[in-house]
Amino acid sequence: MACKRVEMHVSRLVTLAILALLTSCSPTSVVLDPEAATSSTTTASTSTTGTSPSTTTTSTTTTLTTPTTTVPAVLPELQFDEAGVPLNGQSDGVLVSNTGWVLPILSGLDRGRHRIWTPCGRQADVSGGKVIPEADFVLDPGHGGSEPGAVGQGGLEEKDLNLEVTLKIRDALVGAGYSVVMTRQSDVRVPIVTRAEIGQALDPIAFLSVHFNAGTNARSEIPGTEMYHQIENADSKRLAGLLYEETRAVLDQFDIPWVALGDSGTTFRPNQAGGDYYGVLRRPAPVVSVLLEFAYLSNPAEEELVSDPAVQGQLAHAVLVAVGRFLETDDPGSGFIDEPIFRGYGPSGAGRTDNCTDPMLE
Ligand SMILES: [Zn+2]
**Number of C-alpha atoms within 13 angstroms, CB side, residue 137?**
28
Q: Residue 83 has what pLDDT?
A: 87
Ligand 1 ion: residues within 5 Å (CB): 142, 149, 211
Q: How many Å lie between the centroid of ligand 1 and the Cα of residue 226?
A: 12
Q: Residue 219 has what pLDDT?
A: 98
Please state, in angstroms and rounded to a whole number, the distance separating the CA atoms of residues 200 and 285.
8
Q: Residue 349 has what pLDDT?
A: 57
C-alpha distances out from residue 33 to 36, 38, 101, 190, 254, Å: 5, 9, 9, 15, 39
Q: Residue 184 has what pLDDT?
A: 95
List per-residue pLDDT tens for the chain, 362 residues long.
Answer: 444 444 344 444 444 444 444 433 333 333 333 333 333 333 333 333 333 333 333 333 344 455 556 777 889 999 999 888 999 999 999 999 999 999 999 999 999 999 999 999 999 999 999 999 999 999 999 999 999 999 999 999 999 999 999 999 999 999 999 999 999 999 999 999 999 999 999 999 999 999 999 999 999 999 999 999 999 999 999 999 999 999 999 999 999 999 999 999 999 999 999 999 999 999 999 999 999 999 999 999 999 999 999 999 999 999 999 999 999 999 999 999 999 999 988 765 555 777 788 999 98
Q: How many Å lie between the centroid of ligand 1 and the Cα of residue 152?
A: 12
Domains of the chain, first to last: 137-328 (3.40.630.40)
Q: Residue 18 has what pLDDT?
A: 43
Q: Which ranges of the chain does DSSP label H, i.e. alpha helix?
A: 10-22, 158-175, 192-202, 234-251, 279-282, 300-307, 309-328
Q: How many Å lie between the centroid of ligand 1 and the Cα of residue 19?
A: 35
Q: How many Å lie between the centroid of ligand 1 and the Cα of residue 52?
A: 36
Q: Residue 55 has what pLDDT?
A: 34
- Give, in degrees to the nearest 5, the angle at Cα 104 between 11 and 8: 30
Q: How many Å lie between the centroid of ligand 1 and the Cα of residue 276?
A: 16
271, 319, 275, 320: which is closest to 294 by C-alpha?
Answer: 319
Q: Residue 46 has what pLDDT?
A: 33
Q: Where are the beta strands (DSSP E) in 256-304?
A: 258-259, 265-267, 289-296
Q: How many Å lie between the centroid of ligand 1 and the Cα of residue 326?
A: 24
Q: How many Å lie between the centroid of ligand 1 and the Cα of residue 7?
A: 29
Q: How many Å lie between the centroid of ligand 1 and the Cα of residue 344?
A: 17
Q: Residue 69 has what pLDDT?
A: 61
Q: How many Å lie between the centroid of ligand 1 and the Cα of residue 5?
A: 30
Rounded to 10 degrees, the C-alpha dihedral 99/292/240/221 comes to 160
Please state, in angstroms and rounded to a whole number, the distance separating the CA atoms of residues 74 and 321.
45
Q: How many Å lie between the centroid of ligand 1 and the Cα of residue 146?
A: 13
Q: How many Å lie between the centroid of ligand 1 and the Cα of residue 212?
A: 6
| Omega before residue 27 within 30° of 0, cis | no
Q: Residue 204 has what pLDDT?
A: 98
Q: How many Å lie between the centroid of ligand 1 and the Cα of residue 25?
A: 42
Q: How many Å lie between the centroid of ligand 1 and the Cα of residue 103?
A: 23
358, 269, 38: which is closest to 166 by C-alpha?
Answer: 38
Q: How many Å lie between the centroid of ligand 1 and the Cα of residue 213?
A: 6
Q: How many Å lie between the centroid of ligand 1 and the Cα of residue 110?
A: 40
Q: Which helix (H) or strand (E) holds 138?
A: strand 137-141
Contact 326, 238 (CB under 8 A): yes
Q: How many Å lie between the centroid of ligand 1 and the Cα of residue 356?
A: 19
Q: How many Å lie between the centroid of ligand 1 and the Cα of residue 214?
A: 8
Please state, in angstroms and rounded to a whole number, the distance separating the CA atoms of residues 236 and 286.
10
Q: How many Å lie between the centroid of ligand 1 and the Cα of residue 166?
A: 13
Q: Whole-prediction pTM value?
A: 0.81
302, 327, 134: which is closest to 214 by C-alpha?
Answer: 302
Q: How many Å lie between the centroid of ligand 1 and the Cα of residue 263?
A: 18
Q: How many Å lie between the centroid of ligand 1 and the Cα of residue 296?
A: 10
